[in-house]
Structure formats: structure tokens, C-alpha cells
Amino acid sequence: MHLYALLFNIPWKSAMKASEKTKERIYTAAEQLFAEKGFTETSLRAITAKAGVNLAAVNYHFVSKEGLIKAIFKRYLTDFSLELEKKLNHYEQKNITPSIEELLSVFMELIVSIKTHSSKGVVTFMRLLSNALLQKQLFLHEFMTNDFGFIFLRFGLLLRNASTHKNMSDVEWFWRLHFSLGTVLLNIASIDYFKTLMKQEFKSSIRTSQVMQLMIPYITAGLSVGPTITDPDLLNAKYGSAC
């Protein structure tokens, strides 16, 4: 029987429903604070105060602040990675070699669909991811690599296979991917600001999904241009050589 039900003699179903509501309030409060203030600046006490729950509830559901952060990212990435895997399996089963633009279109469509756990959906997730990178949350990198790394590796390999420049060095491809990621993170995490700016300057509005589509040809061009690195050390550096 649920711990709360035992302690307070609450019917089992009622205890479960109350527990899930408490958990959801913690999720909502934590996502908002982490997105607005960052991970290091947000304390568990601030989260519990905003959620209207006690500290024991966080410890019960998530064990620790680190556990809560992992759980938030898992909620966002689980469905996304499953859908991405279906798309990649389709290409593999049909023996299709998708273009860079096709792969990016699939990726963007799936990102836009991340909207089930927050009213701002993809914007909140991009802010969380941006803060994770800026604040060097290394435990989160390890968690995401262990839990979702394989599917993102498959996607990255398909992207590279779609490139016409097979001789591009691992280092240059590494940076091209991160330049692409940075483009998505900055523009979507700051989308409210850019939309406001556009409205002031052009007296027009745009949807987030439209902005995502606008990024596809831009990123495609960046990934498609020929290699530029000439430094021998960088040319010869291989991915995973430090392991």
C-alpha cells in the first residue's frame, strides 16, 4: 500500500491520485523555475514553496534535486526519442538514404510536438537544455548519453552519411553539429523576445513552428558546405580517441 495511505489511513485510490497531483505540481514548479532562473540558482525550497508542497514530497518522488532534473528531461525526451527511433527504423527498413534537409525536417517536427508537459512546450524545453549547457550540468550529459545517446548517435550518423563531404574531419563535423544545436537553442529559448522584436519592426507575427521551418535550410547549408579545417592536428583527431 502507498506510504501516505498507511500513515494517514487514506483510501488507496485517493492516495494515488493525491500523490500524482503532488508530483505534477512539483514538475510544473521545477520546470518553470529551472527555465527562468537556471539549475544552480534554484533551490528545492524555492520549488516546494512554488508547488505548495513540503520538502519530503520531493525526496519521496525524486530522491534529490539531481533526480528531479533527470526526471524532467526524461519526460520530455522519452516520447521524442521513441518517435525519432520509429522514423529512423522506417528509413532503415525501406533502405532509404534521407537527405540532410529531410532529416532536419523530421527532427524539427518532433521538437515542435514537445508540448504535453508545459504550456510553452518546446520553448521551456529549449530553455532547460540551454541552462544545462551554460551551467555545465555534467551529470545530465551523462544521464542523457546513457539513456538516449544511442538514438541520437544513429541520427547523427545518418546526417553525416547524407553529407556529400565524406572527407570532413571528425572535429569539424563535431563543431558543425554544435553550431546547428546552438542555432536551435538560442532562437527557440529566446523566441518570445524575437517575436516581440519582429512585431515591433515588421508589424507582423510568426508561429514557433514557422521559425523552426525557417531554420532548416539555414542549418542544411551549414552542414553541407565543404570542409575548411587545414590544421593537421585537428584533421587527424578522431572521435573517441580520448577514451
Domain membership of residue 79 (yes or no) is yes
What's the CATH number where 35 sits? 1.10.10.60
Mean pLDDT (whole number) for 30-53: 95
Measure the CA angle with vertex 150, ends 146 and 65; round to 5°: 30
Q: Which of 43, 63, 83 is the last residue of a domain?
A: 63
**Is the pLDDT assigned to residue 19 strictly greater than 80?**
no
- Max Cα-Cα span within the chain: 71
84 shares a domain with 54? no
Range of the domain at 13: 1-63
Residues 47 and 147 grouped into a single domain: no
Query: Over 70: is that where the pLDDT of 125 sits?
Result: yes
Instruction: Answer yes or no: do 52 and 73 share one domain.
Output: no
The answer on 108 and 228 residing in a single domain is yes
Q: What is the pTM of this model?
A: 0.85
Residues 198 and 176 in one domain: yes
d(CA 201, CA 203): 6
Q: What is the pLDDT of residues 73-89, one digit of tens each?
A: 999 999 899 999 999 99
Does the residue 89 lie in any domain? yes
* Helices 170-189 & 138-162 angle (0-180, nearest 10): 110
Segment 211-240, tens digit of pLDDT: 999 999 999 999 999 999 999 999 999 887
